[in-house]
Structure 1
Amino acid sequence: MAKQFDSLSEVLTRFIEAQHIFFVGSAAPDGQVNISPKGMDSLRVLGPNRIVWRNLTGSGNETAGHLAQLNRMTLMWCGFEAKPMILRTYGTAKTLHPRDEAFRSLNALFPHSDGARQIYDVSLDLVQTSCGYAVPFMAYQGERDVLRNWTEDKTPEEIATYWETRNQHTIDGAPTYVTSPKTP
């Protein structure tokens, strides 16, 4: 049976901190809905209604483009190893880029990465748990090092070129503002 809460409790925060993967959902008013898996020590709970997660350079940039159009985000965790639970948080997010003043202090919460592309500062307005009884048991075997190695093999200029050529637009053609700010 699903239960809803106004904020994260200490128990739910510990559940989040124990997970090795989370999923991000976002959508613009039109076009494709995006659901993306995330890992690599990229999320911090900063309070009962605040989560920040760092988005590293990748093949797409859907979340940034969606939030620029419609500011809403869902984060989800599944208990694969122990407790059968699904946890979803619903809210809005502020997108911060390396050019933004607040980026630096939040980025310091995470291990160094030259591929840090955005940080999403998420304000939660609803938290929901559900049973997760149909989620299979899966054992964590470790982090993949492919993205870290790819990033370490690039200069900051090469990463910026990748953003310019590969991360400027969503699959629906909406701008992501990864290399230049959105103008009013």
Structure 2
Amino acid sequence: MVHYYESLPEDLREWALQQKVFFTASAPLRGRHVNVSPKGLLDATFHIFDPNHAAYMDSAGTGIEMISHVYENKRITLMFCSLDEKPRIMRLFCTGTVIQRTDPKFPGLIESMGKKEFPGIRAVIMLDILKVQTSCGYGVPLLERVNYSEHLGERSENRKCYKDRPTLEKMLGTIVKKGKLDPFLQESNARSIDGLLGLREARKMRGEWLFAYDVGAWVRRQLFQGPAITFGVFIGFFLCSYGIAILTHIVDLTLKMYTMTARV
């Protein structure tokens, strides 16, 4: 059964924080690419402030799709799914705000989340939760505990098949130590696949005039609404040309109906 909530109930909040992975989905207003990304390390990066506000810490990566989409249209959806005995899928439909590591609010935000800054972090994504959806999750695979004793003897025990992967933290730590984080951001985080503006910090490093590019992006978004603008211009022209005549006709009809009613 599908259930909808206007905010995140306490039991779903606790359940979400117990999961090992969640996924983010975002898309541009125009373009061919819809982005979906897995996110782990919830204990270190994800925080729920209250039933309608959450945030997660976003590390540097080889793409900037989600941040570009949030800059453009603010739409972002998070999905959690259970891999244990009690199936469930939960989606958080949100609008997002990007708080870069260079933002003066960044240190205080990390502290309010109760987290610690880690090497390679590029931003915190603030989430305004608009709607919560849960569904059965019956089609999601079950993660079993497997007993390998028959193969390994006494050295084995029941184990889950996953654990937090330290690779990302090690990789980013190495990049930071070598002083290569800024060039990495410039190369990989300035534009999305569809050419949308990426991380403002990366663009600034490349010497871009941010204001001019931001205005240009805004103008392009307006022009993309071409059919709506054309229709609006047509309606405006029609009203200017015939609006007074139509209004006069309506008033005349109203007066005639009133006069006929009064006579009766």
TM-score, structure 1 normalization: 0.93
Take 2:170 and 2:13, find their aligned partners in 1: how far apart are those partners? 30
The DSSP-based 3-state class of the residue aligned with 1:133 is coil
Take 2:106 and 2:99, find their aligned partners in 1: how far apart are those partners? 6
The DSSP-based 3-state class of the residue aligned with 2:58 is strand
The equivalent position to 2:109 in structure 1, one of 106, 131, 137, is 106
Take 1:11 and 1:131, find their aligned partners in 2: how far apart are those partners? 16
**CA RMSD after TM alignment:** 1.6
| Greater relative CO, 1 or 2 (CA 8 Å, sep 6+) | 1
Paired residues of 1:117 and 1:178 also in contact (CA < 8 A): no
Q: Is 1:170 the equivalent of 2:175?
A: no
What are the within-5 Å matches in structure 2 for residues 18-57 of structure 1? 18-31=18-31, 32-41=33-42, 42-57=45-60
Paired residues of 2:119 and 2:169 also in contact (CA < 8 A): no
> Gaps spanning 5+ residues in structure 2: where?
144-159, 205-209, 215-264
The equivalent position to 2:134 in structure 1, one of 96, 109, 129, is 129
Structure 1 residue runs of 4 or more that deviate by more than 6 Å after TM superposition = none
Offset, 1:81:
1.7
Take 2:110 and 2:184, find their aligned partners in 1: how far apart are those partners? 20
Pairs aligned (count)? 184
Take 2:52 and 2:182, find their aligned partners in 1: how far apart are those partners? 33
The DSSP-based 3-state class of the residue aligned with 1:155 is helix
Name the residue aligned to 1:153.
Answer: 174
Higher strand share: 1
Offset, 1:58:
1.2
Higher helix share: 2
The DSSP-based 3-state class of the residue aligned with 1:176 is coil
Q: Which moved more, 1:67-76 or 1:105-114?
A: 105-114
Question: C-alpha deviations, 1:85-122, integer Å up to 9, x for none?
Answer: 00001010111101112211222332331211111110
TM-score, structure 2 normalization: 0.66
Name the residue aligned to 1:84.
Answer: 87
Offset, 1:140:
5.2
Q: Which amino acid aligns with 1:177?
A: L
The DSSP-based 3-state class of the residue aligned with 2:175 is coil
What are the within-5 Å matches in structure 2 for residues 60-71 of structure 1? 60-71=63-74
In structure 2, relative to structure 1, the CA distance for the partners of 1:167 and 1:133 (3 Å cut) is: same
